[in-house]
């Protein structure tokens, strides 16, 4: 009886510590978690809307938004844990998450264009401005 109580209290303590750690990590970096969440759900919204127009609603594709959300939130938590634990790794979240967010934003624009939320000319203008930083290539 006492062994079961000790194991239960030990597990409760460990789980409380882990839960508190990730709660504090989330609160300290709420902007990053919100950015990932908003971008994924906006892409999912327009993606499902475009899918409904093309081929009808598919539960599998709608649930993939939640799978993507779960993966990237866990990935962000891992990256932030590494940054917090090891000095000199503050560049990790920018290096890994920024390209993901840019690709998701482009996907949002494409999906919004497919459903008619923005017209194709505006999409073309936006995408052309994204490539402006490249400049003219020397031959």
- In 3D space, the residue among 117, 104, 119, 136 whose CA is nearest the CA of residue 50 turns out to be 117
- Give pLDDT, residue 139: 46
What string of pLDDT tens digits covers the 139 residues of the chain?
A: 688 888 999 999 999 999 999 999 999 999 999 999 999 999 999 988 888 888 888 888 889 999 999 999 999 999 999 999 899 988 988 899 999 998 898 888 888 888 888 887 877 777 777 666 655 545 4
Are the CB atoms for 53 and 115 separated by under 8 Å? yes
- Give pLDDT, residue 5: 86
- Give pLDDT, residue 121: 80
- In 3D space, the residue among 121, 101, 110 whose CA is nearest the CA of residue 46 turns out to be 110
Close Cβ partners of 66 (under 8 Å, ≥ 6 residues apart): none
Q: How far is CA 37 from the centre of its chain?
A: 5
CA distance 99 to 105: 10
Close Cβ partners of 125 (under 8 Å, ≥ 6 residues apart): none
Q: What is the pTM of this model?
A: 0.76
| Angle at alpha carbon of residue 19, lines to 28 and 1, rounded to 5° | 160
- In 3D space, the residue among 112, 107, 114, 124 whose CA is nearest the CA of residue 54 turns out to be 114
């Amino acid at each position: 009886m006492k062994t079961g109580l000790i194991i239960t209290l030990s597990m409760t303590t460990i789980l409380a510590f882990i839960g508190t750690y990730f709660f504090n990590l989330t609160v300290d970096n709420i902007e990053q978690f919100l950015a990932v969440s908003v971008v994924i759900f906006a892409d999912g919204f327009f993606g499902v809307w475009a899918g409904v127009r093309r081929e009808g609603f598919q539960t599998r594709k709608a649930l993939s938004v939640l799978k993507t959300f779960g993966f990237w939130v866990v990935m962000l938590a891992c990256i932030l844990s590494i940054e917090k634990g090891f000095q000199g790794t503050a560049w990790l979240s920018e290096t890994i998450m920024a390209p993901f967010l840019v690709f998701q934003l482009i996907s949002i624009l494409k999906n919004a264009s497919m459903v008619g939320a923005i017209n194709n000319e505006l999409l073309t203008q936006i995408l052309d401005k994204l490539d402006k930083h490249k400049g003219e290539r020397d031959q």
